[in-house]
């Protein structure tokens, strides 16, 4: 009996020892497999890194080839663009159209400066785009209507310290912050006619600000100036001692009657004293003379100043190229010797 019990006890111990040996063997097997997996993962990560490097290198080479291709396209297209521009400037059939040539001749006759003003001139605003040459006679009893507000309001800021107030009119700049000073902002479009809900007219501006002894008008509204000025009567234009206008689309040769009407109306009451071609626009050669597409003109009320035959030579030192990054084209009837 005792022998049987001892045998059973030894069996139990043996089984426990065997179980312990099996556990440690299993643990070692697991650890060995984990090490093998980690080794394979390291090998995969190494291969992935090598693959990424190869892909990056191929992408870099592809980008280099793309840049070369784009440059080759530019080399091909640039001469074509220059060629197209040359054709439009010099050889377009439109340039020799009878109506266009007649229009160009009349524009030159109206805007060629032939009278010298007996007053001091000065540049108001920055050099480049945004500044204008005007008569330096602004007074504290004047109001300036500045129609068209851009990023550069250096002209308006220079005027503001000299006049009663500056009225800025523009509906296209919702984030514009009104500068400190005698400024007011009307966020409406300038429109012809008398329909208030469509915007505001020049006559309404004059009625809204009757306290000035005299008025200055600056207008730069990207081509809408023609229809605005065309509807004004001479009595309204006479309210303005100086009118500074940037005319757009002068050589697009559409609505020629409207454009000539505006220039002729202004010429009845005012005299152009500064004419400057904006080099940001195009030019066309019509009947031997360049006609700019964008042109800046300072007009003065003829009854407010005295004139002599000739040209104010100091204007040459006051005008400035609108865009220094673009070539400036010499316009004989504007920039030539007078």
Instruction: Work out the pLDDT band at 18, boundaries 50, 70, 90.
Output: low
Q: What pTM did the predictor assign? A: 0.73
The least confident of 32-41, 76-85, 115-124, 240-249 is: 76-85
**pLDDT greater at residue 69 or residue 48:** 48
Q: What percent of the chain has pLDDT over 90?
A: 39
* Residue 321 CB neighbour total at 10 angstroms: 17
Instruction: Work out the pLDDT band at 279, boundaries 50, 70, 90.
Output: confident
- Checking if the pLDDT of 260 tops 60, the result is yes
Instruction: Work out the pLDDT band at 305, boundaries 50, 70, 90.
Output: very high
Pair of tokens at residue 211: 């306290």
Which of the residue ranges 5-14, 19-28, 54-63, 266-275 has the most confident prediction, judged by mean pLDDT?
A: 266-275
Per DSSP, the residues of 99-120 read: HHHHHHHHHHHHHS--EEESS-
Average pLDDT over residues 90-109: 83
Q: Which residues pair with 274 in a beta bridge?
A: 298
- Checking if the pLDDT of 211 tops 80, the result is yes
Instruction: Compute the mean pLDDT over every residue in the chain, rounded to the nearest whole number.
Output: 83
Using DSSP's 3-state secondary structure scheme, residue 320 falls into coil
Average pLDDT over residues 285-292: 84
Average pLDDT over residues 159-172: 93
Instruction: Work out the pLDDT band at 84, boundaries 50, 70, 90.
Output: very low
Q: List, for residues 137-148, the tens digit of each pLDDT value.
A: 999 999 999 998
pLDDT of residue 94: 72
Instruction: Work out the pLDDT band at 75, boundaries 50, 70, 90.
Output: low
Instruction: Work out the pLDDT band at 30, boundaries 50, 70, 90.
Output: confident
pLDDT of residue 81: 46
Instruction: Work out the pLDDT band at 239, boundaries 50, 70, 90.
Output: very high
Query: Are 131 and 323 contacting, i.e. CB atoms less than 8 angstroms apart?
Result: no
Average pLDDT over residues 71-86: 53
- Dist CA 167 CA 225 (whole Å): 17
């Amino acid at each position: 009996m005792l022998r049987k019990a001892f045998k059973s006890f030894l069996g139990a111990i043996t089984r426990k020892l065997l179980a312990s040996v099996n556990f440690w063997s299993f643990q070692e097997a697991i650890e060995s497999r984990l090490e093998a997996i980690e080794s394979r993962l390291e090998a995969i990560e190494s291969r992935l890194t090598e693959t990424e490097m190869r892909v990056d290198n191929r992408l870099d080479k592809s980008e280099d080839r793309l840049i070369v291709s784009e440059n080759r396209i530019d080399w091909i297209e640039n001469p074509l663009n220059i060629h197209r521009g040359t054709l439009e400037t010099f050889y377009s059939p439109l340039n020799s159209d009878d109506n266009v040539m007649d229009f160009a001749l009349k524009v030159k006759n109206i805007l060629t400066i032939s009278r010298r003003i007996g007053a001091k001139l000065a540049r108001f605003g920055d050099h480049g785009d945004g500044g204008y040459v005007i008569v330096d006679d602004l007074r504290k009893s004047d109001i300036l209507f500045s129609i068209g507000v851009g990023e550069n309001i250096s002209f308006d800021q220079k005027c503001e310290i000299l006049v009663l107030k500056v009225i800025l009119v523009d509906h296209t700049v919702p984030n514009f912050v009104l500068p400190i000073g005698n400024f007011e902002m009307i966020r409406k479009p300038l429109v012809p006619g008398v329909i208030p809900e469509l915007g505001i007219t020049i006559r309404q501006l004059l009625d809204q600000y009757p306290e000035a002894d005299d008025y200055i008008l600056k207008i730069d509204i990207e081509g809408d100036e023609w229809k605005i000025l065309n509807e004004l009567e001479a009595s309204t234009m006479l309210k303005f001692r100086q009118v500074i206008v940037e005319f757009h689309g002068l050589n697009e040769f559409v609505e020629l009657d409207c454009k000539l009407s505006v220039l002729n109306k202004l010429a009845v009451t005012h005299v152009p004293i500064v004419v400057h071609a904006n080099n940001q626009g195009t030019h066309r050669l019509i009947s031997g003379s360049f006609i700019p597409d964008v042109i800046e003109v300072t007009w003065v009320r003829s009854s407010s100043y005295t004139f002599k035959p000739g040209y104010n030579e100091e204007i040459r030192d006051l005008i400035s190229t609108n865009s220094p990054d673009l070539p400036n084209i010499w316009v004989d009837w504007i920039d030539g010797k007078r």
